[in-house]
C-alpha cells in the first residue's frame, strides 16, 4: 500500500515536470500542473503518515480537508480544456472556498486544546457524540463535494463536447475523459458512502475508507497523467477569433432563418460543396466555412443542424467518407494505401478515419475495399 502511494506521488510530480516543459502551455496546462502538485502532495503526505494517521487528529483532518480540492480541479480542467480561455477567472476561486474555510477552522480549533481533542477522524464509541457540530458539518461537505463535482464535470464534458462537434471537423480524443470521470466518480462515491455507513452504523473501518480513497487517487494519477499530458487544447490551433466564436460562448441566441431563407441557404451550401469540395481541408471549421460562403455562422449552423439533421463534425466527415469510397473504386488511386486515400480526402488521423468510416458505412475501410474488388 505504502509503495503504491509513493509510486503514485512520484508519477504525479514526474508528470508535472514534463508538463512544465511543454510548449506552448495554455491555461488548462497550468491548472493541470497545480492539480498534479496537489495529487502528488496528498498521496505523498499520507504515505509518510499512514502508521500515525489516526493518532494525529489534526494532520488526519487536514488530509481529509484536502479531498475538497480534487473535485474543483477536475471541473476546472474539463472547462478550460475545451474552451480556449486565456485567463483564469477570479470567480473560479470560489470553488476552493470550502477547503480554505475548513483549514482555517482546523487551525483556529487547534488553539483550544479542550475543543480540538474532540476533533478526530473515525468512529470512537466513547467520543463520537462529543464531536463538534461544526466539524461534522465540514465532514458532510467533504463527503458531498466529490459526487457533486463529478456530476458537474460530466455535465460540462458533454456540453462542451457537443459544442466542439458543432465547431470543427477535426477529431479530438476526449473519450478517455468521458470514461474516466464517471468511473472514478462511482468509485469515489462508493467509498464516501462507506465512510458515512461507518459513522452511522459502525460498519467497515475508517482506515478501509481512507485507504480506498487514496488507492483510487493513485490509479487516477496514472490515468489522468498519461492521457492529460498528451492532450492538446481543442482550439489551440485556431485563431483567437475562431476560438472565441459566438457559437460557442454566446448567451443571447441569434435570430433564425425563416423557411424561404433557410432553403436558399441550403441550396447555396449544397452547390458550394459540389463545386468547391471544402471538406478536403483537414482543418475546416464552421467559422472558416461560413466566411467562404459569406453567410453568418449561426445561419450555417442552423442549416446543418435543422435541415441536414447533423452536427458540423458529422456533416463534414460524411462528405469525406463518400470521397474515400469514390477514391477506393477509382483506378487512379490503386497505388494509394487506405490511409493515404483518407488523408487525400480530408481526414487528419487514422483513428478518426476508421471510426467515422465505420459509423457511416457499418463496415471498416479495408472490408469496403475488399468488397469492391
Residue 301 covered by a domain: yes
Let me know whether 49 and 107 are in one domain: yes
| Pair 121, 33 in one domain | yes
Pair 290, 249 in one domain:
yes
Measured CA to CA, the distance from residue 197 to residue 1 in angstroms comes to: 23
- Tell whether 263 is covered by a domain: yes
| CA–CA dist 73, 81 (Å, integer) | 12
Tell me the per-residue pLDDT of 226-248, one tens digit each, with 9 for 90 and over: 776 655 544 434 444 444 444 44
| Tens digits of residue pLDDT in 307-319 | 888 889 899 999 9
Q: Are residues 146 and 262 in the same domain?
A: no
Identify the band that residue 127 occupies on the pLDDT scale cut at 50, 70 and 90: very low
What per-residue confidence (pLDDT) applies to 260? 83
Q: Is 258 left (phi over 0), alpha (psi -120 to 50) or beta?
A: beta
Q: Which of 369, 47, 29, 57 is nearest to 233 (CA)?
A: 29
Rounded Cα distance between 88 and 80, Å, is 9
What CATH number should be reported for the domain holding residue 292? Answer: 1.10.10.60
pLDDT at 98 over 90: yes
Q: Is residue 85 scored above 70 in pLDDT?
A: no
pLDDT at 48 over 80: yes
**Mean pLDDT score, 163-183:** 76
Residue 237: which residues within 8 A CB-CB, separation 6 or more? 283
* Mean pLDDT, the chain, integer: 81
Residues 225, 245, single domain; the answer is: no
Residues 45 and 168 in one domain: yes
Q: Residue 96 is part of a domain; what is its CATH number?
A: 1.20.1070
244 lies in the same domain as 156: no
For residues 218 and 43, the answer to whether their CB atoms sit within 8 Å is yes
pLDDT for the residue 253: 54
Q: Are residues 168 and 23 in the same domain?
A: yes
Residue 249 lies in a domain: yes
What is the tally of structural domains in the chain?
Answer: 2
Q: Which of 170, 205, 230 is the last residue of a domain?
A: 230
**Same domain, yes or no, for 147 and 191?**
yes
Q: Which range of residues forms the domain containing residue 52? A: 2-230
Domain presence at residue 235:
no
Domain's final residue, options 230, 265, 285 = 230
- CB under 8 Å to 331, separation ≥6 — which residues? none
Nearest of 217, 86, 235 to residue 174 by alpha carbon: 235
Average pLDDT of the segment spanning 29-43: 88
Q: What pLDDT, in 10s, does the model give residues 5-24? A: 888 888 888 888 887 887 76
Residue 150 lies in a domain: yes
Query: Is residue 187 domain-shared with residue 320, that is, in the same domain?
Result: no
Is residue 52 in a domain? yes
Contacts of 214 (CB under 8 A, 6+ apart): 5, 42, 43, 46
Q: What per-residue confidence (pLDDT) applies to 201?
A: 65
- Mark whether 189 and 294 lie in a shared domain: no
Residue 197 included in any domain: yes
pLDDT at 47: 86
The predicted structure's pLDDT at residue 246: 41
Same domain, 63 and 195: yes
Identify the burial level of 229 via C-beta atoms within 10 angstroms of its C-beta, where 0-12 means exposed, 13-18 middle and 19 or more buried: middle
Summarize pLDDT for 285-332 with one digit per residue, the tens.
888 899 999 988 888 888 898 888 888 989 999 999 999 999 999 888
Check residue 37 and give its pLDDT. Answer: 92
pLDDT at 240: 44
Q: Domain boundary residue among 183, 212, 230?
A: 230
Amino acid at each position: 500500500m505504502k509503495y503504491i502511494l509513493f509510486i503514485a506521488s512520484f508519477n504525479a510530480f514526474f508528470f508535472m515536470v514534463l508538463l512544465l516543459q511543454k510548449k506552448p502551455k495554455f491555461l488548462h496546462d497550468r491548472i493541470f500542473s497545480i492539480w498534479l502538485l496537489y495529487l502528488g502532495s496528498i498521496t505523498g503526505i499520507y504515505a509518510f503518515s499512514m502508521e500515525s494517521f489516526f493518532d494525529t487528529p489534526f494532520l488526519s483532518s487536514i488530509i481529509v480537508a484536502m479531498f475538497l480540492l480534487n473535485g474543483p480541479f477536475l471541473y476546472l480542467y474539463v472547462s478550460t480544456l475545451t474552451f480556449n480561455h486565456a485567463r483564469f477567472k477570479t470567480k473560479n476561486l470560489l470553488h476552493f472556498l470550502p477547503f480554505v474555510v475548513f483549514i482555517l477552522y482546523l487551525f483556529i480549533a487547534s488553539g483550544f486544546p479542550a475543543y480540538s481533542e474532540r476533533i478526530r477522524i473515525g468512529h470512537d464509541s466513547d467520543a463520537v457524540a462529543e464531536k463538534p457540530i461544526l466539524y461534522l458539518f465540514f465532514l458532510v461537505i467533504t463527503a458531498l463535494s466529490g459526487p457533486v463535482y463529478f456530476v458537474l464535470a460530466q455535465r460540462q464534458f458533454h456540453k462542451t463536447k457537443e459544442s466542439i462537434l458543432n465547431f470543427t471537423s477535426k477529431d479530438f480524443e476526449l473519450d478517455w475523459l468521458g470514461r474516466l470521470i464517471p468511473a472514478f466518480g462511482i468509485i469515489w462515491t462508493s467509498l464516501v458512502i462507506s465512510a458515512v455507513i461507518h459513522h452511522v452504523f459502525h460498519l467497515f473501518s475508517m482506515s478501509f475508507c481512507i485507504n480506498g480513497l487514496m488507492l483510487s487517487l493513485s490509479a487516477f494519477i496514472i490515468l489522468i497523467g498519461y492521457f492529460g499530458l498528451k492532450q492538446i487544447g481543442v482550439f489551440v490551433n485556431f485563431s483567437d477569433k475562431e476560438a472565441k466564436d459566438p457559437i460557442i460562448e454566446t448567451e443571447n441566441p441569434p435570430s433564425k432563418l425563416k423557411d424561404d431563407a433557410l432553403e436558399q441557404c441550403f441550396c447555396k451550401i449544397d452547390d458550394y460543396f459540389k463545386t468547391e469540395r471544402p471538406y478536403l481541408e483537414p482543418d475546416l471549421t464552421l467559422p472558416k466555412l461560413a466566411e467562404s460562403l459569406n453567410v453568418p455562422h449561426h445561419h450555417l449552423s442552423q442549416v446543418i443542424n435543422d435541415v441536414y439533421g447533423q452536427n458540423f463534425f458529422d456533416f463534414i466527415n460524411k462528405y469525406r467518407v463518400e470521397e474515400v469510397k469514390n477514391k477506393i473504386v477509382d483506378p487512379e488511386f490503386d497505388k494509394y494505401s487506405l490511409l493515404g486515400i483518407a488523408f487525400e480526402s480530408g481526414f487528419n488521423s487514422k483513428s478518426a478515419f476508421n471510426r467515422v468510416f465505420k459509423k457511416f458505412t457499418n463496415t471498416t475501410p479495408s472490408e469496403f475495399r475488399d468488397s469492391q474488388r
